[in-house]
Amino acid sequence: MINDVQDVLDEQLAGLAKAHPSLTLHQDPVYVTRADAPVAGKVALLSGGGSGHEPMHCGYIGQGMLVSGACPGEIFTSPTPDKIFECAMQIDGGEGVLLIIKNYTGDILNFETATELLHDSGVKVTTVVIDDDVAVKDSLYTAGRRGVANTVLIEKLVGAAAERGDSLDACAELGRKLNNQGHSIGIALGACTVPAAGKPSFTLADNEMEFGVGIHGEPGIDRRPFSSLDQTGR
């Protein structure tokens, strides 16, 4: 349920901040951090991406999780470099910032630009790129495999390592190791509807399911009759 497609991001972030006093919503540019950021003596984790995948990423901010901050873009749109830069500057507690990036072209470009700005500002920063989706080698939104479900696990486990006091290099190494070990494929029983479009991105019959579907409504690689969980898993 939404009021106006133009206000989706603003209203959902305002609601998130009101419901969770442990979070701070920043404006101009828009990003979300822990209310107690920066946390001195610990690596700061930052991620972000297009909205529409909630609770990813803002809902994962907290102690032992994404830890520090998140940059939401508009629906299915990458956050801009200035958001990423300002958020990183806000959460840096002196031990560096780890940027966790899903492998989508817009995310890669904008996070890389922000990384350069942070380097120029004297911030210790490094990145982990997540590309766990084995359905396709390339897609409309990526060069290479897409970053999807493994993002949640990496944010949790690397967040716990940062909370424990691991170094920036150790957190990055753990994130890359987890990425190399994680593989996923998306299966859909129906298509998503982007609010601005107002209609599903593709259609499925009641007895069909789509294999390899993307998180932005990209059609998959195969369409099969609906089957049981055990049969689908095989």
Active-site position among 20, 26, 53, 57: 53
The DSSP-derived string for the chain is: --S-GGGHHHHHHHHHHHH-TTEEEETTTTEEEETT-S-TTS-EEEEEEEESSTTTTGGG-STTTTTTEEEEEEET-PPPHHHHHHHHHHH--SS-EEEEEES-HHHHHHHHHHHHHHHHTT--EEEEEE--B-S-SSBTTBSSSPP-THHHHHHHHHHHHHHHT--HHHHHHHHHHHHHH--B--EESS--B-TTT-SBSS---TTEEEES--TTS---SEEEE---HHHHH-
20 is catalytic: no
216 is catalytic: yes
Please list the active-site residues.
53, 216
